Structure 1
Amino acid sequence: MPKFRFETTVSGQTTAFEEELASEEMASPRAIEMARVAMAADPRSGTKQSGSIIKVYDEAGYLVATVNFSDVLPSDPDAAQHGSGDAVVEEPGVMRSG
């Protein structure tokens, strides 16, 4: 399986790790999932994280997907406080190179 490099930038700090995925098409959904998990881990920092981003690179170093945290934020930032934090969010606009 091909390896992909996920670079997450939050508050100006970048962390990276590699993960094997079945195909390039799985990179974008995986990055969206990672962004949602990161925001759910600390819901009070949602607006601070809105400027965060995840970039995904293939083994050759080409950018294959970019996910902005602001694209996966619920339309109502207070939704988590009102008990509707699990509402389905539309698929964000994901930028792809290539």
Structure 2
Amino acid sequence: MPKFRFETTEFDQTTTFEEELASPDLASPRAIEKAHAALVAGAPTGLDQSGSVTRVYDEAGYLVATVNFSDVVLDSSQQQPISDAPTEEPGVMRSG
């Protein structure tokens, strides 16, 4: 299975972890899931996570997904997490 690197940046601090996924199509939903979990974990402490972003890179270092804070917050009209696909085109950016 391919390995993907998840990089979450918040407050100018980056945390990284790697995970094997069956396909690149699972990278964005997994990043949304992780970002949502981080949002829930930070909620009781009152931390402002509005600037957080999670990027997912494939084994070659190409960007395959980007999840911003706004992708995981509750929309008051829908009352469920927003999970639209990232606006950046996959494979355009390469991790350095």
Could you state the TM-score of these two structures normalised by the residue count of structure 2? Answer: 0.81
Are 1:49 and 1:69, in contact at CA under 8 Å, matched by a contact in 2? yes
Aligned to 1:83: none
- Cα drift, residue 93 of structure 1: 4.2
Residue 84 of structure 2 aligns with an amino acid whose one-letter code is P
Aligned length: 86
Amino acid paired to 2:90? S
CA distance in 2, matches of 1:90, 1:42: 18
Structure 1 runs of 4+ off > 2 angstroms? none
Contact 1:52–1:70 under 8 Å retained in 2: no
CA contact (8 A) 1:72 1:92 kept: no
Equivalent residues in 2 for 1:15-26 (5 A)?
15-26=15-26
Q: Distance in 1 between matches of 2:56 and 2:64?
A: 6
Percent identity over paired residues: 59
Q: What residue ranges of structure 1 are gaps of 5+ in the alignment?
A: 77-86
CA RMSD of aligned residues (A): 1.4
Structure 2: state its 5+ residue gaps. 92-96
8 Å contact from structure 2 (residues 2, 23) kept in 1:
yes
